[in-house]
Amino acid sequence: MATFFGEVVVAPSRAGLDEEEEAREETPEDREIRREIEKKRYRQRGEIREREIQVLWSCAEESLVCSRFIVAIGRNAAAFLSSFILDSVCWEVIGVVKLWNEWCRTSSTTNVLPTDSFCLFYRLISDPTVLLCQCSCYVAEDQQFQWLEKVFGSMQKKGLQVTILSTCPVADYKTQESTLTLISPFLKALKTKEFQEQVCCPLLEQPNIVRDLPAA
């Protein structure tokens, strides 16, 4: 339970439920929809099942030492990183995510290169503990837990500060005033109770929420 509005809390998740428990709660219509989605996802491309998410790193470390991890999710947030942060020679590509779903098909190559990838990891050359991630691809709802598990499973989490950048349409912003009068774009924040530093912008007001991969 949140101690104040705008705090990020861990909500109960169905991501780890076993198939038997899911089957007890599914209706026949749900099962039919799930089967059709699985048929599309499980098409073979070589020996790799397309539904599986692969995280490929160029570095040899078993566990990346990371103090700050900035993740830009969505095309607008990824473009912001490209324009204002990555537009220099201070960063190097150290990893990619390969995935496939109804809206995104990445290359099947195993090379860690910027080409044919929609999710890239960068490391600051002057401080290798600072990592960035540009995720401009769509991560399906049933792939989000796997994405988080594999990405954060490669990092040391002690002392790690994670910053998520994402965008949403102004029309989705809930406010008592007309959205036509809002000066856009504007910035709002959510934070956990562990974050003790000063927030750089106002907190997101009720009843607005964050969805999809940024929420996960």
188: amino acid identity, one letter: K
Region class of 159: left (phi > 0), else alpha (psi between -120 and 50), else beta? left
Mean pLDDT of 114-119: 58
User: Which is nearest to 154 in space by CA: 63, 215, 26, 83?
Assistant: 63
Omega prior to 128 cis, within 30 of 0 = no
CA-closest candidate to residue 213, choices 103, 72, 116: 72
**Mean pLDDT, rounded, for 176-191:** 84
Judge whether residue 47 has pLDDT over 50: no
pLDDT of residue 169: 87
pLDDT of 66: 92
What tens digit of pLDDT does each residue of 1-29 get?
566 555 666 665 555 455 545 445 778 77
Residue entry with tokens 């989000």: 144
- Per DSSP bridges, beta strands 44-45 and 54-57 are unpaired
Instruction: Choose between 167 and 184: higher pLDDT.
Output: 167
pLDDT at residue number 6: 59
Nearest to 65 by CA among 154, 131, 129: 129
The gap between the terminal CA atoms of the chain, to the nearest Å, is: 16
Q: What is the mean pLDDT of residues 67-84?
A: 91
